[in-house]
Structure 1
Amino acid sequence: MHLKRYSRVIRLLLLIFTVSCQSKKETKKDIADFIDERPNIVLIIADDVSWNDIAVYGHPNIKTPNLDKLAKDGMRFNQAFLTTSSCSPSRTSIVSGLYPHNTDAEQLSWPLPEGKNTFVQQLKDAGYWTGLAGKYHMGDPVRDDFDELLEMQWKDAPIGLDRRLVGDGSGCDEWIKLLKSRPKGKPFFTWLASFDAHRPFCEGISDTPYNPKDAVIPPYMPKTEAVKKDFALYYDEISRMDDYIGKVIAELEAQGIADNTLVLFMSDNGRAFPRDKTTLYDGGIKTPWIVKWPAKVKAGSINNNLVSSVDIASTFMSLAGLKPLEEFDGKDISTLLMGDTKDIHSEVYAEDHFHDFEDYTRAVRTQKYKYIKNYYPDLPNTPSADVLRDRTWKSMVKENNKGTLAEAQKRCFEIPRPEEELFDIVADPYELNNLAQNKAYVDVLNDMRVRLQTIREKTKDYMPTERTPDDFFRETGLPTKYRMRPRPSKAVYMRARKEGKVLINPDFNG
């Protein structure tokens, strides 16, 4: 991190030099005023929350009054997507402006390596105060990019399963503390990361809990009482997070800085349920995306352009008066915030790597179609291990054994999976009808194949030479001998492979 620290001084001097050269009449006060006019930026990241589980996106029963008001006061994006549907790879992709395969942190719990730049570092170099509160999950090399880091703490050891947090379990406890601790008189960036609505879901967190009858169950899950109960507990966590978001907006207003503060709310991936999180269906990669910035963004506006989380780094740098790094894979979408409706993306790209279980899948999504390529079709679409250990999956296994699951509800058990999947999203929003073998869609299929191959070549995507052993047993969700926490870096795994070794947990007692 010493190189990062050294570069900050140089970049700040370059920024001042650039501003001062704009006019010979500018004084030091002019430069200071320019810097002070840059927006504060608040990024709020939900954990495992699907786009359509927010009231403003049409959910009939979930109560999210603060997010609804955020959209009313700002801009709601209806076609926002993530580069992956896995926790830490999604976050490292956001912070680095790179697709997961270019981060060298594409697998769950791999840290972002030392040599990767982040937009947070660039903002800090340019004079922003930077802070993070809540879930971190990006690896030690990124820690120094934050002036203050209030990382959520666990009640048990990192190796534990279905862990509980210190505090109320939300991961949001110290958001306001962070905002209050910022130095005054300089722009700031804060990364506020909720642990809601990550599993395990616990009863008793709400004084007004949701009733299982309020659950809206997608057709690819059975409507059993266990599933409904699971969804109701998930909703409790979303509403708790919404309360904290209201507190953040109130604090910005109390500090008198709300007008020139950009707030972006999004999720790292979809809900932790079968066929959502860790998949490339919209239930895994489509995200709520709401921006409030009273000084610039028109209240009550709606944007239907395709945007990707890989665009955040370039966009935040641009809004801060900085030139996005050439190495970034994403694009600057700041013009959309100002009301421009011209398409920036004709498609978005997403990828699935190891998350508890091995997988390698890629997807291209346009406004109308989704194309998924399953490179390991011999592996089932197994949900994350914490899903396997909880109510919904256990209920699905029971119903599958009884033979009562509908065709769409059997997909996570399917072996082999189809190598190609094609969906008409407009006609089939739940992606139930695979059109890849439909002759009427051969031209669409070929077009989507070309789009996928073009993006893979352009971004230097590649196939792994070996598969990674599963960290958990797919039948039970319990650890295998390969699970280690903290998980070694990609470099350590690759070094072991080169030496012909397979990394194993020395403390495993299974």
Structure 2
Amino acid sequence: MAAPKNILFIMFDQLRWDYLSCYGHPHLKTPNLDRLASKGMRFDRCTIQSPLCGPSRMSTYTGRYVHSHGASWNNVPLKVGELTMGDHLRDLGMGCWLVGKTHMAADAEGMRRLGLEQDSVIGARVGECGFDIFERDDGMRPEGPDGLYDEGGALKYNEYLRGKGYESDNPWHDYANSGLDDDGNVLSGWFLENSDRPANIREDDSETPYLTRRGIEFIEQAEGPWCCHLSYIKPHWPYIVPEPYASMYGPQDFLPRVASETERETDHPVFKGFQNAPIGKALARDDVREKVLRAYMGLIKQCDDQMGVLFDFLERTGRMEDTLIVVTSDHGDFMGDHWMGEKTFFHEASVKVPLIVYDPSPEADATRGTTSDALVECIDFLPTFVEVAGGDPAKLDHILEGQSLLPMLRGGAAPEREVVVCEYDYSSSPLAGRLGLHPDQSRMFMVANQDWKMIHFESGHRPMLFDLRNDPQELEDLGASAAHADVRARMYDHLHVWARRPAARTTMSNEAFVKERTLGAGRTGVLIGIVEETELPQELTAKYTGRKAKDMRGTTPGTPGE
């Protein structure tokens, strides 16, 4: 074992923390991720920065809160000038490559204004969230009356499928994400009634094994040191999976729905609005939830099996001895809990994600197989990677808002953090329109510590509050409880401190400010408030004393002095 020289950053999409056996799922066995946890450290309180793919990922890739980087919704461009993982790591001599999904939208207008051509090296990196691209696959090629959701979605994967005999203009949909009836009709995975059918594809050709192979192909040809972001598409919807996974799980394997009738009868318009979204109404039905859970659990089992393929390869090739491995998710999935689907709210099912970190260095031996309930955020990953690459995250604390986990992995202290913060901007959602909200009002913020979680709504609606110690399932909303007014006040104090942080000043480091003020007055000749020259050391006044000049006071303007 030695200090890691490479980083393998694995992210799943929409993977709940409690659907891994190392996190306590009693029926969904994930031995390969469990094996990694036994070699590393498992984090039990890792919080994302936004319960939506795009903004969550942009926070992970920049090490900054959504409020700071501004990409607050899917396909909102990350503005030109935001430093990303690739920028930081390349400055330290480490390559940074993508295999899979980012959900990054390029700031085309900003690039045009600055004259950056997208086909140039710099332009391509700016347009791809700072990564060099081995293969980008955001895993989405749906098509509606206005065209494709993503013109670049699944292009190489579709080409691969056609080469394997899957004949279609969009095999991503017709085979990888749909079933088939006895008459040869495509049964689209977009319709939840088909979620319990097997996808019409050989398992080895489906998305997760395909992306695993592409990740292995990258590592085989990579010249280090490197960071590889292996970013999986699943278990994100469409909820459908090939055999043998489609038949692995049934109702006897499902976790009970976490929900109460009191929640269903809530008086909170925003919470109720998300329950009444189509996906919420669908997954509130037991028959639909059962179909979806069969596929969701099968997809997760397939992901874990592919981790076995990947980890076996790393061990065989010696990469397990020099590579830091991080496994996480961009957010969870309600799966009908709290009468909601998808991920766009702040319960633990959505905002708490699995995090397993394996550090091969001998210094990490003391923490192998341990767990931590420290308050960790996904913005902590990038400072960790910077430190692994030989940098000093403290010198970037004006840019990176997270904290390195490396000291903790090696037996040191956990990040100093009183609360975690998550944000969601639902300006583009139909709910904002139904509630008649301006985009400025269509935002909400979660602030939480070990004991309490509070949700603030810019719409002016009352906050929501949960007692995480006594109500870990978050079934009782205490946001209107008079007895908990002091708790809400304390949580608002935390939120206000967070909101006042100096997040926009990224062009000059804190270290530079400290250096400037400690050098002493006058080092660059600016002397303010000095009455007599003897008040300062002679070296600071040397440019202003002992000098001679002509007397110009009596001369006519425009003529030489006497």
**TM-aligned CA distance change 1:294 to 1:443, over 3 Å:** same
SS in 1 for 2:456: strand
Q: Is the CA contact (8 Å cut-off) linking 2:208 and 2:232 kept in structure 1?
A: yes
SS in 2 for 1:423: strand
In structure 1, C-alpha distance between the alignment counterparts of 2:465 and 2:85, rounded to whole Å: 35
Q: Is the CA contact (8 Å cut-off) linking 1:172 and 1:193 kept in structure 2?
A: no
Q: Which amino acid aligns with 1:291?
A: V
Pick from 327, 339, 347 the counterpart of residue 399 of structure 2: 327
Matched, 1:344 2:329: no
In structure 2, C-alpha distance between the alignment counterparts of 1:157 and 1:149, rounded to whole Å: 25
Matched, 1:176 2:213: yes
In structure 1, C-alpha distance between the alignment counterparts of 2:258 and 2:317, rounded to whole Å: 45
In structure 2, C-alpha distance between the alignment counterparts of 1:60 and 1:269, rounded to whole Å: 21
Q: Which amino acid aligns with 1:146?
A: F
Give 1:460 deviation, angstroms. Answer: 5.8
Residues 393-413 of structure 1, C-alpha deviations (whole Å, 9 max, x = no match): xxxxxxxxxxxxxxxxxxxxx
Q: Which amino acid aligns with 2:372?
A: N
Pick from 248, 265, 270 the counterpart of residue 310 of structure 2: 248
What does residue 87 of structure 1 align with?
53
What does residue 193 of structure 1 align with?
231
Residues 419-465 of structure 1, C-alpha deviations (whole Å, 9 max, x = no match): 2011111211121111222233222111001111111121569xxxx
Matched, 1:62 2:34: no
Q: Is the CA contact (8 Å cut-off) linking 2:100 and 2:232 kept in structure 1?
A: yes
Matched, 1:150 2:143: no
Q: Is the CA contact (8 Å cut-off) linking 1:172 and 1:192 kept in structure 2?
A: no
In structure 2, C-alpha distance between the alignment counterparts of 1:78 and 1:372, rounded to whole Å: 21
SS in 2 for 1:79: strand
Max radius of gyration: which structure? Answer: 2
**TM-aligned CA distance change 1:356 to 1:179, over 3 Å:** farther
Q: Is the CA contact (8 Å cut-off) linking 1:209 and 1:233 kept in structure 2?
A: no
Stretches (4+) displaced over 6 A: 161-165
Aligned ranges 1:38-187 → 2 under 5 Å: 38-140=4-106, 141-143=126-128, 145-152=130-137, 157=143, 159-160=147-148, 166=158, 168-171=205-208, 173-182=210-219, 183=221, 186-187=224-225
SS in 1 for 2:11: strand
Matched, 1:294 2:337: no
Give 1:225 deviation, angstroms. Answer: 2.5
In structure 2, C-alpha distance between the alignment counterparts of 1:288 and 1:144, rounded to whole Å: 23
Q: Which amino acid aligns with 1:286?
A: K
**TM-aligned CA distance change 1:352 to 1:155, over 3 Å:** closer
| Aligned pairs, number | 386
SS in 1 for 2:210: coil
Q: Is the CA contact (8 Å cut-off) linking 1:270 and 1:286 kept in structure 2?
A: yes
In structure 2, C-alpha distance between the alignment counterparts of 1:239 and 1:245, rounded to whole Å: 10
In structure 1, C-alpha distance between the alignment counterparts of 2:230 and 2:62, rounded to whole Å: 17
In structure 2, C-alpha distance between the alignment counterparts of 1:269 and 1:189, rounded to whole Å: 22
In structure 2, C-alpha distance between the alignment counterparts of 1:245 and 1:226, rounded to whole Å: 29
What does residue 426 of structure 1 align with?
469
What does residue 381 of structure 2 align with?
312
Q: TM-score, normalised by structure 2?
A: 0.64
SS in 2 for 1:229: helix
Q: Is the CA contact (8 Å cut-off) linking 2:425 and 2:443 kept in structure 1?
A: yes
Q: Which amino acid aligns with 2:357?
A: V
Pick from 419, 443, 455 the counterpart of residue 372 of structure 1: 455
Q: Which moved more, 1:168-177 or 1:253-262?
A: 168-177
In structure 2, C-alpha distance between the alignment counterparts of 1:460 and 1:257, rounded to whole Å: 37
**TM-aligned CA distance change 1:275 to 1:366, over 3 Å:** farther
Give 1:360 deviation, angstroms. Answer: 1.0
In structure 2, C-alpha distance between the alignment counterparts of 1:251 and 1:160, rounded to whole Å: 36
Give 1:156 deviation, angstroms. Answer: 5.2
Q: Which moved more, 1:93-102 or 1:433-442?
A: 433-442
In structure 2, C-alpha distance between the alignment counterparts of 1:260 and 1:328, rounded to whole Å: 25
Q: TM-score, normalised by structure 1?
A: 0.70
Q: Is the CA contact (8 Å cut-off) linking 2:333 and 2:341 kept in structure 1?
A: no
Residues 243-264 of structure 1, C-alpha deviations (whole Å, 9 max, x = no match): 2222221221122121221111
Give 1:184 deviation, angstroms. Answer: 5.4
What does residue 403 of structure 1 align with?
none
Give 1:345 deviation, angstroms. Answer: 1.2
Q: Is the CA contact (8 Å cut-off) linking 1:150 and 1:174 kept in structure 2?
A: no
What does residue 210 of structure 1 align with?
249
Residues 89-119 of structure 1, C-alpha deviations (whole Å, 9 max, x = no match): 1111100111112112111121222211112
**TM-aligned CA distance change 1:240 to 1:432, over 3 Å:** same
Q: Is the CA contact (8 Å cut-off) linking 2:208 and 2:302 kept in structure 1?
A: no
SS in 1 for 2:371: strand
Q: Which amino acid aligns with 1:362?
A: F
Give 1:146 deviation, angstroms. Answer: 2.9
What does residue 488 of structure 1 align with?
none
Q: Is the CA contact (8 Å cut-off) linking 1:329 and 1:459 kept in structure 2?
A: no
Q: Is the CA contact (8 Å cut-off) linking 2:403 and 2:415 kept in structure 1?
A: no
Residues 329-370 of structure 1, C-alpha deviations (whole Å, 9 max, x = no match): 212222111122445211111101138514411011101110
Residues 363-393 of structure 1, C-alpha deviations (whole Å, 9 max, x = no match): 111011101012236xxxxxxxxxxxxxxxx
SS in 2 for 1:336: helix
Q: Which amino acid aligns with 2:360?
A: P
Q: Is the CA contact (8 Å cut-off) linking 1:128 and 1:189 kept in structure 2?
A: yes
What does residue 399 of structure 1 align with?
none
Matched, 1:279 2:345: yes
SS in 2 for 1:176: helix
Give 1:291 deviation, angstroms. Answer: 0.7
Give 1:130 deviation, angstroms. Answer: 2.2
In structure 2, C-alpha distance between the alignment counterparts of 1:184 and 1:119, rounded to whole Å: 18
In structure 1, C-alpha distance between the alignment counterparts of 2:471 and 2:129, rounded to whole Å: 45
Q: Is the CA contact (8 Å cut-off) linking 1:120 and 1:146 kept in structure 2?
A: yes
Residues 245-287 of structure 1, C-alpha deviations (whole Å, 9 max, x = no match): 2222122112212122111111101116426601112111101
What does residue 440 of structure 1 align with?
483
Q: Which has the higher helix share?
A: 2
Q: Is the CA contact (8 Å cut-off) linking 1:198 and 1:272 kept in structure 2?
A: no
**TM-aligned CA distance change 1:206 to 1:136, over 3 Å:** farther
